[in-house]
Amino acid sequence: TSISSYRRARRRQSLFSEQHEFRPIVLRSDEVVCGVTGLIGNTPLVRIDSLSDALGVEILGKAEFLNPGGSVKDRVALRIIEDAERQGLLHPHTGSRIFEGTVGSTGISIATIAKARQIPQAVEPISRFLAIIMPDDVAQEKVNALLALGADVQRVRPASIVDKKQYVNIARRAAIEFGRSDIMKGLEDARANHELHTGSASVVVTTTSSHINAEGTIDDPLDEDLLSKPRGFFADQFENRSNFEAHYNGSGPEIWRQTNSHVDAFVSGAGTGGTIAGIGQFLKSMNEEVQVVLADPEGSGLYNKVRYGVMYDRKEAEGTKRRHQVDTVVEGIGINRMTNNIDLAVPIIDDAFRITDVEAVAMSRYLVQNDGLFLGSSSACNLVACIKFVKKRGWRDGQTLVTILCDSGNRHYSKVSAWYLGRADVP
């Protein structure tokens, strides 16, 4: 039964690693939940009928577009904020300003949760609680949502990660510079005295050296002096392990339970890598036979990293445009550098497929027409990869593939749907 397999899974989980909690899973029901954050996670798995019937396998999509902030990133934003609050890096009783570099979804999720938790806005003269830095080629729908939620949005030209004007670099720097003056001086003194090792998880502007321990967290978050100070918090989804944990302890176990422990393959794209690393590692910890499959869009170097061990090999480098140089239709997935979360993903990926914008757009249109599913472009990429993988393996005996339906097509209308409806000139 699912209960005994769940118990088995639980036992196995505790053997696997003690540092991960295994939360009981409560599927959405007619219960009343507390506030918007109560709606996050526990999303259903939906069978994609058209593709499953055509291929003779079960293709199941985790309906992450049903999260209140509209995407899979709600899970990550909630975990990042909860962990930061637990560590005293973000405190509800003082002015805080959150900074993040994002192509949109994570920003919308952070904004939603910060509002729901009433993380108060920073003290004057800074008026907003959240600063989002994003590339200027992302769909306008995401910018509109961020503005409606009250975030400050700065849009910058897409750039390489080695460029200090790259959006993640700007966000990190802005968090550090926020509230400079005496707070920053304390931080710098602490660094100089080797009292602060800025963890890869976060760059935090907080207080004087006496409050910061060797892990870079605060010893006494309730200190009066500390509470009176505004701070900047860099959410840092690319490097922050809370991203991985949200999936390892949330969506991963949910999928295992929902499929009654029967998963043959998990297929996902990677933007920060949190989803594929967290869910992939969890499923493999339950059954090492589960195949973890990467769906990689044009311009991303991950496919090469998985196949050849390098992001760009010499032969290819000349003719290949990197993701920040490509006018991309698919948003949210694809990356050209290693991050903490990508590091956790690469070793467990069994197979990888390159998906073109044309394939993703064709799939988006197919799903609307055949299933009434209006999905975003990264979900479409995932489903194209499901088909490629099934065909490559010659599967047609009812094997179960699980993938992520990251967000809705509403957020991508101006790019994806406008293209297939012939209303926009998209490459």
Catalog residues that contact ligand PMP under the rule CB under 6 A: 71, 73, 103, 105, 269-275, 332-333, 376, 378, 406-407
Using a 10 angstrom Cβ sphere, with 0-12 exposed, 13-18 middle and 19 or more buried, the burial of residue 350 is middle
Smaller CB distance to ligand PMP: residue 269 or 299? 269
Indicate the residue among 217 and 243 with the shorter CB distance to ligand PMP: 243
Question: Residue 333 Cβ, how far from ligand PMP at the closest point, in Å?
Answer: 5
Q: How far is the CB of 228 from ligand PMP (least distance, A)?
A: 35
3-class SS at 406? coil
Closer to ligand PMP at the Cβ: 78 or 103? 103
CB of 332 to ligand PMP, least distance (A): 3
**In the complex with ligand PMP, which residue's Cβ is closer, 132 or 333?**
333
Least distance between ligand PMP and beta carbon 406 (Å): 3
Using an 8 Å Cβ cutoff, are 305 and 346 in contact? yes
Give 285 or 382: the residue with its C-beta nearer to ligand PMP.
382
Least distance between ligand PMP and beta carbon 104 (Å):
7
Tell me if 401 sits within 8 A of 264, measured CB to CB: yes
Report which secondary-structure segment, H or E, holds 100. Answer: strand 96-101
Closer residue to ligand PMP in complex, CB, 58/407: 407
Cβ-based burial of 391 (10 A; exposed 0-12, middle 13-18, buried ≥19): exposed
Q: How far is the CB of 185 from ligand PMP (least distance, A)?
A: 35
Residues 6+ apart with CB under 8 A from 410: 70, 141, 374
Report the distance separating Cα 46 and Cα 258, nearest Å: 10
Burial class of residue 27 (count of CB atoms within 10 Å of its CB; 0-12, 13-18, 19+): exposed
Give me the least distance between CB of 127 and ligand PMP, in Å please.
27
Q: How far is the CB of 250 from ligand PMP (least distance, A)?
A: 12
Q: Residue 185 in 3-state DSSP?
A: helix
Shorter beta-carbon distance to ligand PMP: residue 221 or 269: 269
- Name the residue type at position 343: D
Task: Give the start-end residues of each E strand in 120-251.
Answer: 130-135, 152-156, 231-234
- Nearest CA to 386 among 82, 125, 60, 80? 60
Nearest CA to 20 out of 90, 79, 78, 89 is that of 79
Helix (H) or strand (E) holding 177: helix 167-177
Question: In this complex, which beta carbon is closest to ligand PMP, that of residue 205 or of residue 381?
Answer: 381
